[in-house]
Amino acid sequence: MPPPSHLRLVEPPPRRAARAPLRWRMALSCALLGAFYLLPWLRWDGRQALLFDLPARRFDLFGLTLWPQDLGVLLGLLAVLATALVLLTQLAGRVWCGHACPQTLWSGLFGWIERATARRLRRPALAAAARHLLWAGVALWTGITFVGLFSPIQALVGSQGGPAWSGWETFWVLFYALATWGNAGFLREQVCLDLCPFARVCPSLCDADTPQMHYLARRGEPRGPRPPGQGGVADRGRGLLDAVSASDYSFRAAHPALAGPLPRFASDRLGDCLDCRACVDICPMALDIRSGPHPDCIACGACVDACDTQMRRWHFPAGLIARASPRAMQQQPTRWLRPRTLAAMGTLLVLLGIGLYRL
């Protein structure tokens, strides 16, 4: 049942709002994507800086050349990176999944293309055609860039006017392009939910001191639309709910068929959540953070940006959705040194020591 007309969410009154914070997440995504596409073109001492030259059986890594007998060095480097990722996940949460994972980066790029074409081209058929054309172009260049890490990129791109691609180059360019087009264009969150092994391991790496995304239900509940001009709970003097009531309202909103509909409240008794669903619509994993912390959340922070934008528009304090550890949410100090963190740090130091000794 729609809310009464006097409680419907309408445009807030015009007022000078605070300056929006820097969109560093978008800048980071652009920087990482740009680094990937530019990496094969970097030169070092007259050679490609990063090249897995399989026919020559050599690996050029920014001036360091590894041969087959140096396989242990490469495996050691991979072990250091894997251990560092484990330590980073324990201390900072799923920052790799949310900000640096290729699936996240290309899904975000393809989603931006989808939204841009739908916004600029009003005809659905034309927008769909433009979207798939741009997706195919990005996917093909991604495949060429990936193969360019194993075959000299200048010869690979210049072969259009000279020798044709070899059979394996053609196969891997098309394979990686098709994988990019399918994973980023269609599967998206299903890759994280069903295919990614690291996503299955992440819950075992995190604990009560690991940051994750939280909805501040004590401030936001009960949610609902309201007329403008009332201000947040702090301005109205309503204050925060007790934890039990806030949890009950969140559960009822998330499970209406099980718990029944929420009771009706006067607009001045509502929390700061406008129930605009901006956080839900922007989530790449199709989750509702207001239902509670979810193991499939990749902590990308998209819900934080969307919610803070709405809070600023309605002149409410930002931070209704925040990134914090469960202990911090309970007003307890964060423990930086704990058994699993010490184990990861010790392993990393041992691997680095072995590497320095071998070099």
Residue 67 lies in a domain: yes
Same domain, 202 and 212: no
Average pLDDT of the chain to the nearest whole number:
89
Give the span between the Cα atoms of 165 and 155, in whole angstroms. Answer: 9
Task: Identify the domain boundary among 153, 174, 206.
Answer: 206
**pLDDT at residue 131 in the model:** 97
Same domain, 217 and 144: no
Same domain, 74 and 157: yes
Residue 193 lies in a domain: yes
**pLDDT at residue 263 in the model:** 84
pTM summary value = 0.87
Residue 17 lies in a domain: no
Residue 252 lies in a domain: yes
Task: Give every CB contact of residue 93 below 8 A, 6+ residues apart in sequence.
Answer: 206, 210, 211, 212, 299, 323
Residue 329 has pLDDT above 80, yes or no: yes
CA neighbours within 13 Å on the CB side: how many for 154?
8
**pLDDT at residue 228 in the model:** 83
Same domain, 153 and 255: no
Residue 11 lies in a domain: no
| Mean pLDDT score, 90-97 | 95
| Mean pLDDT score, 84-88 | 96
Residue type, 86: V
Same domain, 190 and 179: yes
Query: What are the tens digits of pLDDT across the range 107-147?
Result: 999 999 999 999 999 899 999 999 999 999 999 999 999 99
Same domain, 159 and 215: no
Same domain, 174 and 53: yes
Query: What are the tens digits of pLDDT across the range 21-41?
Result: 457 888 999 999 999 999 999
* Number of domains forming the structure of the chain: 2
Same domain, 47 and 165: yes
Same domain, 197 and 239: no
Residue 250 lies in a domain: yes
Same domain, 266 and 298: yes
Residues of the domain holding 127? 24-206
In 148-225, alpha helices (H): 153-158, 167-182, 189-190, 197-205, 217-220
Query: What are the tens digits of pLDDT across the range 165-210?
Result: 888 999 999 999 999 999 999 999 999 999 999 999 998 999 999 9
Task: Identify the domain boundary among 184, 206, 228.
Answer: 206
Whether the Cβ atoms of residue 221 and residue 305 lie closer than 8 Å to each other: no
Using 50, 70 and 90 to split pLDDT, how confident is the model at 1? Answer: very low
Q: Which is nearest to 12 in space by CA: 230, 187, 180, 223?
A: 230
Phi-psi group of 275: left, alpha or beta (phi > 0 → left; psi -120 to 50 → alpha; rest → beta): left
